[in-house]
Structure 1
Amino acid sequence: MTELNFPAPLQAALASKGYDSLTSVQTAVLAPEAQGRDVLVSAQTGSGKTVAFGLAMGADLLEGDRLPEGELPLALAIAPTRELALQVARELEWLYAGTGAQIATCVGGMDYRNERRALQRGAQIVVGTPGRLRDHIDRGSLDLSALRAAVLDEADEMLDLGFREDLEYILGAAPTERRTLMFSATVPSAIEKLARDFQQDALRISAQGEARQHGDIAYRAYSVTARDREPAIFNLLRTHEAQTAIVFCKTRANVNHLLARMSNRGFKVVALSGELSQQERTHALQALRDGRARVCIATDVAARGIDLPGLELVIHADLPTNPETLLHRSGRTGRAGSKGVSALIVPSSDYKRAQRLLQNAKVVAEWVKAPSADDVRARDDERMMDHPGLTEEVGDDAPLAAQLLEKFGAEQVAAAFLKLWREGRPAAEELMETQAPPAPMAPREPREFGPSVWFTLSVGHSGRAEARWLLPKICDAGGITRDGIGAIRVKQDLSYVQIAASQADRFGDFIEITPEVTMRRMQGEPDLDAQAPRPRFDRDDRPARKPAPRKNAPDSEGHKARVKSARGGWLPDDAPLADPRTEGPRPPLKAWKKKSSAGEGAGKPAWAAKGKPRADRPGTAKPHRKGPKRPG
């Protein structure tokens, strides 16, 4: 490590921690081309990113072998979750222990007054979550005017959690000449845009081995019946007896359900979900770290940012929704050169979905049956025979051991030991036999089609087009059979079809196969891997069609009849009907005869005169005839 350019106090800290060499991401950020520049680093979870940015900003912060004393922070590290922020602070504490660094944390759920006092004492490095950091800036307790380096850790997760506005506010309060380091497991377009907004001439770094997808993790898929999904998880935990294991569920309800069942069976288990307070989360994580609990059940969101030392087993109780989630879950094990297992519990109805998930993630999993009750008991017997208490010297307990043998005999003492050994563990679960999952389908080899001509169709996925829907329409339009059609490739806004050269002239250069879909001959072959723009078809190319007459058109017979009826039939039958669009307003309707302006009822219609029955009103239906009276 001495040939790399980073300060001596940090080298001493790494040596005291037992670092013989640096990881690929740590080496990349210390390369000469990265010195003093903004960097955008993509590296998988567990690749040593925290130590990497701690080393990278060392030259920007240290003056000699010490950090300068002052009231304002020099470095800021932003993390998406409380647990990750506290973990980053712990890593930086031992890394900068020999530099006199004061590190303050600003995270939600902690006492605000303690954080404010830590900032006032003059912390050179501040680590926090976006919401709490913005709160301190608003209240005036955090001044970033002297900031030299800013780090965005797990930037993709911060965007997923909706922190972009807070990040803009925080970085807007820092000097523009600062150095900005962004670390992210993935670099989608949103991260690239964030880098363009907040970085200047950033160096893009992809850590070596990023595409290897966790080579120290063994992926296994366990085929089970639907009713044996949870018992298979119990047997899997019993078989491995991992120091720490994590079980991922899709929803909070699934976490609570599995927690209750495992607690009843005697597992040392804790849960992490969104409904827990910060104090409950801290207690759960501490129980895992000190060994009081060995299994953690969590949702994807609740488990973000947590780091569990000695995590040997990851179980996917519910299948991940996408390959990125699968890799992110699995990346919590197999760290720092240690081995880990990522186990997928796959009911028979999800075989194909699991196979597609693994293929898209570019990982190979071993398909095996879930451990049976006999497998669990056999594994327990192996551990019992390997128990160190059976091979170590008896020591001070020799008199008591001799007394037990003399009183009960060797066979009875051994049977008691065996009983006590088995009583301290959850019982094994009986599982039903399952069939082996079908092998994933191999991609079909393209058939030989011979000389052909390609055509473009004006519809694609956006128009809900499918090959099986297009095939008969193309056959009908050209009068050919399906043997004359080769490949049909449906893209987003258009489709391509391959027609045998001997029958391509049947379609000409342009043809309309339906009133909505047209087909045009191409010159050469299409680039099926590229996203071509949607073609524009000229209206002149379409065959002329006479539009169907509208029922409400002014020159239609139905329209004339309705107008005549609406006018009360007062116009002669042979009178021409005026078109209001061309001949001005239609004549007024005939007014009702009114009474003289003098006397009572003047100005009112005749039917409105006092005492006039309602039946005499024009347009009013005659009253119903009264029926016979009901018998008294």
Structure 2
Amino acid sequence: MSIDIAIHPALASALEKKGYETLTPVQTAVGDPALADKDLLVSAQTGSGKTVAFGLAMSAQLLAEGVPTRADVPRAIVIAPTRELALQVKREFEWLYGAAGMIIAGAVGGMDPRNERRALERGAHIVVGTPGRICDHIRRGALDLSELQVAVLDEADEMLDLGFREDLEFILNEAPEERRTLMFSATVSPEIERLAGTFQKDAQRISTIDRKAQHSDIEYRALVVDRSDRENAIINLLRFYEARNAIVFCGTRAMVTHLTTKLLNRGFAVVALSGELSQEERSRALQMMRDGRARVCIATDVAARGIDLPGLELVIHADLPQNKEALLHRSGRTGRAGSKGVSALVVPINIKAKAERLLKFANLTADWAPAPSAEEVLERDRVRMLEQPSLVEPIQDDEKEAVQALLKRFDATELAAAVARAFIAGRSAPEDITPISVDGPKPRAKVEFERSTWMRLSMGRDSGTDPKWLLPMLCRAGDLTRRDIGAIRIMNDHTFVQIHADAADRFLQSVGPERSLEDKCGVDVLDKAPEGLDRPNPRPAKWDRKPGGPRRDFGDRAERGDREFKKPHRKGGSDDGAPRKSWKSRDEVGEGKAGKFSKPAGKSFKDKPNPKDKGKPKAKYGKPGKK
């Protein structure tokens, strides 16, 4: 192992057993002996080895006097924003400090607090946990920070985003002022700088992020799709890459549930991660990803923060991230520790401009292209099938008899067909996607349906026929795709449908000799295109009448003339000839000012006595008799 910094022998031995040959830039930077007693504010890319980095940085205080003989109160604390990240840090420290004999205790939300309190009572050198649970143990007297030497804030930007500022201030105020404070963050916002200025002393700023260059181990792809093909594009992406592990990010829990159900129905090995799951369910889902029982994880941004899935090769953004930080955090799940990965954004054509701005703000360059089509996925399958290791492995002794028996009964063509069928059977069929270019949908050629067959369906507008359900029904019952169907003309009692000539035989074979679709809809083949289709559809029958009776006929304009059609009105009287009552001015009746009109003078209903008020005092306001 070639390492440029001095490391304690126990930690060097642990790194060598783990397979480390060289250290990453952030690990080398924080291990500089000149910074051994300095507070550090470190920004590094996600997946650059920050956990081992601050583990090495802490060793300057924890192992300064050699390997400790016993554990009492903690000498170091690591605070992480999420349960998964805290558990991951605890696992990393167990192998890193295991040879040094140091005891690691956890204080993680969602775990049994009684077990944690018993572990703290037995003693621990390092405590790793989440802000809320650490505060709870401190308030209950189970966690004593009086002898703390090092405090580490991992993913400090995420903790502030999740609203843990007050918890962080409470924890750091409980620790001694002469402690060493290390803050690690993917981005250093002004709020992070203010927090560092409050709880750090002359912190040394370390950054291993090249703002002008994107992560070299992550390939960014932006795939333009039609608005209705987003889920189909996700299926084709998973089939095209067939990554060992993949994660699909969604914007809401509802989308996680919907997409998980759809992928499970398509035969994918899927687990879901959302905020509504318990810690046990989340741990089980991540373990299924780690041991290979599941290959696709559907998650929201909050639920996936801090998770580390080994060998994650593909990140799919089903919904665009809200900001550049979220984009970098999502994409940073892949391309870790020198491995390669792909970050693919599924971009509906109507929000292409928004995706371009997001990539520009994040200083990322993506390859823009359409989503993989069904033909591209099948071609990739053929290449993968020929590259199967089992096809070139030598025949074992215990396999010779079975091979000879197969060769005696079947020829080479039949055996090859069986291999191809076995390969295809374990994979979901790719989805048909509407052709679309980066600049927008491709216009359908005018000559595409010059060779077509017209069908007449025995249901129309009177029976409630609607294109919204008619088109999917034709595709489902007639074994068609949307590209096989041309014009649809819905009449009052029937419907004309244009089907491409190459798909007409397949359609007729699917509907059967009875020529019937769903809901007993008959199908007739026409010899030629119906006449009059170039004219607009006739007015629906329901327009010919108004509710409550037949349509009113006001006659022809020539019969009525050009006069305005309205009821006659006789000035100074009503329609039946009776004189019309006129209003009188107030001065005519002795009230008000001239020019103000009111009803003719007379007693109003207020002046009439009410028999119910007899014997009751008259109130000034309100009902009679009410004081």
4+ runs deviating over 6 angstroms = 610-615, 617-620
The corresponding residue for 1:96 is: 97
Q: Deviations over 1:559-598 (max 9, x none)?
A: xxxxxxxxxxxxxxxxxxxxxxxxxxxxxxxxxxxxxxxx
Deviates more, 1:165-174 or 1:273-282: 165-174
Structure 1 contact 82–107 (Cα < 8 Å) conserved = yes
Is 1:418 the equivalent of 2:410? no
Equivalents in 2 of 1:241, 1:169: separation in Å? 46
Q: Deviations over 1:270-325 (max 9, x none)?
A: 11001111110000000000000000010001100100110111101111111111
Q: Deviations over 1:357-379 (max 9, x none)?
A: 11111111111111111111111
Offset at 1:213? 2.8
Equivalents in 1 of 2:195, 2:76: separation in Å? 20
The corresponding residue for 2:161 is: 160
Structure 2 contact 3–23 (Cα < 8 Å) conserved = no
Q: Which runs of 5+ in 1 are unaligned?
A: 439-609, 621-632
Equivalents in 2 of 1:238, 1:618: separation in Å? 85
Residue correspondence of structure 1 range 250-261 to structure 2 within 5 A: 250-261=251-262
Is 1:60 the equivalent of 2:71? no
Equivalents in 2 of 1:296, 1:274: separation in Å? 14
The corresponding residue for 2:321 is: 320
- Structure 2 residue matching 1:97: 3-state secondary structure: coil
The corresponding residue for 2:503 is: none
Structure 2 contact 369–437 (Cα < 8 Å) conserved = no
Relative to the length of structure 1, the TM-score reads 0.68
Equivalents in 1 of 2:32, 2:355: separation in Å? 40
Residue correspondence of structure 1 range 22-421 to structure 2 within 5 A: 22-209=23-210, 211-395=212-396, 396-421=398-423
Q: Deviations over 1:330-387 (max 9, x none)?
A: 1111111111111011111011111111111111111111111111111111111111
> Which residue identity does 1:414 align to in structure 2?
A
Q: Deviations over 1:24-54 (max 9, x none)?
A: 1111112244220111111121111111110
The corresponding residue for 2:432 is: 430
Structure 2 contact 213–363 (Cα < 8 Å) conserved = no
Structure 1 contact 44–210 (Cα < 8 Å) conserved = no
Structure 2 contact 313–340 (Cα < 8 Å) conserved = yes
Structure 1 contact 9–65 (Cα < 8 Å) conserved = no
Equivalents in 2 of 1:311, 1:613: separation in Å? 89
Equivalents in 1 of 2:263, 2:8: separation in Å? 49
Please, what is the CA RMSD of the aligned residues?
2.3
Deviates more, 1:71-80 or 1:213-222: 213-222
> Relative to structure 1, is the Cα distance of residues 611 and 109 closer, same or farther in structure 2, using a 3 angstrom cutoff?
closer
Offset at 1:237? 0.5
Equivalents in 2 of 1:330, 1:619: separation in Å? 74
Q: Which runs of 5+ in 2 are unaligned?
A: 441-612, 623-627
Equivalents in 2 of 1:413, 1:148: separation in Å? 68
> Relative to structure 1, is the Cα distance of residues 359 and 298 closer, same or farther in structure 2, using a 3 angstrom cutoff?
same
Structure 1 contact 351–437 (Cα < 8 Å) conserved = no
Give the aligned length.
Answer: 450
Offset at 1:3? 4.2
- Structure 2 residue matching 1:119: 3-state secondary structure: helix
- Structure 1 residue matching 2:38: 3-state secondary structure: coil
> Which residue identity does 1:437 align to in structure 2?
D
Offset at 1:64? 4.6
- Structure 1 residue matching 2:249: 3-state secondary structure: strand
- Structure 2 residue matching 1:25: 3-state secondary structure: helix
The corresponding residue for 2:469 is: none
The corresponding residue for 1:533 is: none
> Relative to structure 1, is the Cα distance of residues 343 and 613 closer, same or farther in structure 2, using a 3 angstrom cutoff?
closer
Offset at 1:208? 4.7
Equivalents in 2 of 1:161, 1:614: separation in Å? 68
Equivalents in 1 of 2:322, 2:139: separation in Å? 38
The corresponding residue for 1:516 is: none
Equivalents in 2 of 1:31, 1:619: separation in Å? 89
Offset at 1:20? 2.0
Equivalents in 1 of 2:93, 2:301: separation in Å? 26
- Structure 2 residue matching 1:212: 3-state secondary structure: coil
Equivalents in 1 of 2:9, 2:213: separation in Å? 32
Equivalents in 2 of 1:232, 1:618: separation in Å? 77
> Relative to structure 1, is the Cα distance of residues 619 and 74 closer, same or farther in structure 2, using a 3 angstrom cutoff?
closer
Equivalents in 1 of 2:211, 2:44: separation in Å? 6
> Which residue identity does 1:154 align to in structure 2?
E
Structure 1 contact 247–298 (Cα < 8 Å) conserved = yes
- Structure 1 residue matching 2:345: 3-state secondary structure: strand
> Which residue identity does 1:149 align to in structure 2?
V
> Which residue identity does 1:323 align to in structure 2?
K
> Relative to structure 1, is the Cα distance of residues 614 and 358 closer, same or farther in structure 2, using a 3 angstrom cutoff?
same
Deviates more, 1:317-326 or 1:403-412: 403-412
Equivalents in 2 of 1:613, 1:328: separation in Å? 80
> Relative to structure 1, is the Cα distance of residues 275 and 612 closer, same or farther in structure 2, using a 3 angstrom cutoff?
closer
The corresponding residue for 1:484 is: none
> Which residue identity does 1:227 align to in structure 2?
S
